[in-house]
A = this chain, B = another copy of it.
Amino acid sequence: MAYERNNIQELSAYIPGEQPENGKVIKLNTNENPFPPGPAVEKVLGSLQASALRRYPPPTAKGLRESIAHLHGVADEQVIVTNGGDELLRLAITCFVEIDEAIAVVEPTYTLYETLAKTHGCGFIQFHLEEDWSLPQKLAENLNSSGAKLCLIPNPHAPSGTLTDAASLSALAQEFEGILLIDEAYVDFVDPQLKHDCIALLSHCDRVLLLRTFSKGYSLAGLRIAYGLGSRALIDPLYKTKDSYNTDYIAQKLAQAALEDQDYARGSWSFVIEQRRLLQKSLEAMGFSCVDSQSNFLLVSMPSQLNAQKLYLDLKAKDILVRYFAQPRLDNKLRISVGTADENKKLIDTIRQLLDQ
């Protein structure tokens, strides 16, 4: 007999990317940062006392929250710290969307969004990206007609890596009558020359919620720390909805150390941007084509004679993991995370060997 709600019973669980225990695997499948956290994080980690753990952590992650607010020039009350980006996404849905309402996305997109909607039991409306991965025409108008309460847009986009500029998102936010959640999980890897910045949207529109995470840009995926930025009209009710102590003491301390060492973080982002450029060049030289990415991964289309799923399996057999999605528009492509210079070289050399066979 099944005891769970019908929507959970019908749900296929979200499948996270593979996390092999084999240490020799080159892991380019889940968009982790190829660099370790910096010396500031190491120092705080080395200074932690076990005795501090017997107490409950600050329930609103006070110290970290203040550092985040300071970095972005917003009020502390505009920041909510969450147990990874997953928690913020779930909170936004459960806080703002009744189960007889719906969220909207623009496909293809981060597959977790659909799982979260189905877990909540609300509706799920799909629009479709243009052929060049840009947002569709008249999106705001169509969102309004659809009655969507919340729209989730990853930017840079996953899994293509493309960036929608802030002006377009501002126009969308102004016209869309629901809440616009811009999932900026990968925003740290945008080329600084583009001067891309969506923080300013917060002062123009109280229906915009930005998601940032320490998992990618700050090399702390293991810690589960992310945050939301928005108006108090959005942040206050999210606080009421979250678990009372949602983030842990050590994660708060280490994330704060990472955030406050902007020099180290920016250095690692520059390196990823440079490696992304080199990796794209090498792949294109072998006949692959890549979508121009502002993220720490590349969406790579196969030359006509190659099958993406076969290449994924061949690479896996050589201990290199990349991501294959068996779904429309993506099934002739692989999503490859940008690794260290050595990892990227190993990837290129291995693909070359496979092509030569």
Query: Chain A interface (Cβ within 8 Å of chain B)?
Result: 1-6, 8-9, 11, 13-14, 16-17, 19, 27, 30, 32-37, 41-42, 45, 48, 50-59, 83-84, 86-87, 90, 94-99, 112, 119-121, 179, 207, 215, 219-224, 233-234, 237, 239-241, 243-251, 254
Q: Which of these, B16, B215, B233, B245, contacts A2 with CB under 8 Å?
A: B233
Report how far A9 CA is from B99 CA in the complex, Å. 16
Q: A8-B240, A112-B244, A223-B250 given as contacts; is B16 within 8 A of A37 (CB)? A: no
Report how far A121 CA is from B5 CA in the complex, Å. 14
Q: A5-B96, A119-B240, A241-B8 given as contacts; is B220 within 8 A of A54 (CB)? A: yes
Instruction: Verify A3–B222 contact, CB threshold 8 A.
Output: no
Instruction: Verify A33–B50 contact, CB threshold 8 A.
Output: no
Nearest chain-B residue to A53 (Cβ)? B222
Report how far A222 CA is from B251 CA in the complex, Å. 10
**29 A-B pairs, CB-CB below 8 angstroms?**
A3-B233, A4-B96, A4-B240, A5-B97, A5-B98, A6-B98, A8-B95, A17-B56, A19-B55, A19-B58, A34-B54, A36-B51, A37-B50, A41-B50, A42-B50, A53-B219, A53-B223, A54-B220, A83-B83, A83-B243, A83-B248, A84-B245, A86-B244, A86-B246, A112-B244, A222-B250, A223-B248, A224-B245, A250-B251
Q: A83-B246, A224-B245, A233-B1 given as contacts; is B54 within 8 A of A35 (CB)? A: yes
Report how far A1 CA is from B11 CA in the complex, Å. 34
- A231–chain B nearest beta-carbon distance, Å: 9
Q: A54-B222, A56-B222, A222-B249 given as contacts; is B90 within 8 A of A243 (CB)? A: yes
Report how far A42 CA is from B46 CA in the complex, Å. 11
Nearest chain-B residue to A63 (Cβ)? B21
Q: Quick one: copies of this chain in the complex?
A: 2
Instruction: Verify B53–A237 contact, CB threshold 8 A.
Output: no
Contacts of A32 in B (CB 8 A): 54-56
- A13–chain B nearest beta-carbon distance, Å: 4
Instruction: Verify A3–B179 contact, CB threshold 8 A.
Output: yes
Q: Which of these, B48, B97, B251, contacts A248 with CB under 8 Å?
A: B251
Instruction: Verify B244–A14 contact, CB threshold 8 A.
Output: yes
Report how far A220 CA is from B94 CA in the complex, Å. 29
Nearest chain-B residue to A83 (Cβ)? B83
- A158–chain B nearest beta-carbon distance, Å: 14
Q: Which of these, B9, B16, B247, B250, contacts A244 with CB under 8 Å?
A: B16
